[in-house]
Chain A
Amino acid sequence: MAEFQPTILAFCCNWCSYAGADLAGVSRLQMPSNVHVIRVMCSASVKPEYVMKAVSQGVDGVLVLGCHIGDCHYMTGNHRTAKRIPLVKKLIDDMGIDEKRVRLDWVSAAEGEKFQKVITEFVKEIEGLGPNPLRGVRF
């Protein structure tokens, strides 16, 4: 069997994390290529439903990246995210999916290196967890 290559979604907010990802790319920082970046206008516009849908359809890991608290372009967007995502983590844990499969982190536009660090760490963590148990489950 081929080595496990996790599929990972990263929701990046347009104003900070996406620019951070851009910076990481421009600076030619090396990182795993398992991550599919999705640009959203704000981390708060990532409906928790999207995260839960991804997890229940067999995506191995979901990253939600936003601006640091206090730096949100829309003032309070990331405060909302900071409430929602921890709850999503708990809910999927109740169902029996490891809560580490969802991660919320703050990456600013200047933190290309942090972006690299978060991605590398997360991919390593998911590789350790193995494939999403729901991947093979057919309802």
Chain B
Amino acid sequence: MFVMREEHGNVAPALVQKGEDLGNVRIDVPYQLVNILETVYPSSPGKIAVLTRRCDEKALAELFKRGLLDEARIVMIGLACSKEQIRLCRCEDPVPSRVVVGEPNAPAKGDELETRLSGMTPDERLKFWTGQFRKCNKCFACTTNCPVCFCDECILEDRTFVPEKGIPPGLSFHLIRSFHLADKCIECGECERSCPASIPLLTLRKMALKDVKGLFNYRPGEKKTTSPLLTTLDDQPLAGEGCDEC
């Protein structure tokens, strides 16, 4: 079983074997276990049970869809988020399909910053975002901690698009990331939590998701049968092969 566990005052992801003592399991720590699960998965045969919030569940759906994990090997233990957590993520879809741990809470009423931004003129918006992105120091924390960033070769490490030298990396870095996540972001907010410059990345993600919803009526992680939107043609499954185009 895969959980967040406290040991010697530190909380870290832990893989607990059958029969082993669970220890001090923490369910109040926001971390995308799916992110680490991708690393643990190849080297641990057999079934793995994971504590899954609604966002983890959606992330898993996106990974199953692309054939990166085997659905038969993952057991999901639904975890309902606390009110505090929902407020931090501005989460509009916090309840997993089967709640095992925790009490289901009401979803948040949208993102305040997003509403503020969409009310702005384009010039004000550009000023806001360039100001935010000036803080970026290209640490790649948003990419490393993203549960749905799984490409072997990251395009952001391609020198054609993001110059090797130069910090901040400019607008294209964030635009490219926005585009790549538009059809798979599950709004877990890990990018925003891990950003050392506290750029409101989750708001950016939410805006992109709204665009995708408006254009294609598509929401990532909703249906397991729908194909990855931007990689394939409509409803054409990725038959067993890994994703090599995203």
Which A residues form the contact surface with B (CB < 8 A)? 48-49, 52-53, 55-57, 76, 79-80, 83-84, 86-88, 90-98, 133-134, 137, 139
Contacts and interface: CB of A to CB of B under 8 A. Distances in A.
A52 B174 CA distance: 10
B55 to A, nearest CB: 21
Nearest to A94: B207
Contact of B125 (A49, A53, A96): A96
A84 B230 contact: yes
A94 B208 contact: yes
A56 B175 contact: yes
B130 A52 contact: no
B127 A96 contact: yes
B172 A91 contact: no
Interface in B189-234: 204, 207-208, 211-212, 214-216, 229-230, 233
Among A48, A94, A137, chain B packs the most CB atoms within 10 A around the CB of A94
A94 B203 CA distance: 11
B125 A88 contact: no
Interface residues of B, number: 39
Main secondary structure of the interface of A (DSSP, over half): helix
Contacts of B179: 48-49, 52, 87-88, 91
Nearest to A137: B130
Main secondary structure of the interface of B (DSSP, over half): helix
Contacts of A56: 170-172, 175
B168 interface: yes
A95 B176 contact: no
B122 interface: yes
Contacts of B140: none
A96 B128 contact: yes
B216 A91 contact: no
Contacts of A83: 216, 229-230
Contacts of A96: 120, 122-129
A139 B133 contact: yes
25 contacts: A49-B160, A49-B161, A49-B172, A49-B179, A52-B172, A52-B175, A53-B160, A53-B161, A56-B170, A79-B233, A84-B230, A86-B215, A88-B179, A90-B215, A91-B182, A94-B117, A96-B124, A96-B126, A96-B128, A98-B122, A133-B126, A134-B130, A139-B130, A139-B166, A139-B170
Nearest to B166: A139
Given A52-B172, A57-B172, A76-B233, A91 B208 contact: yes
Contacts of B82: none
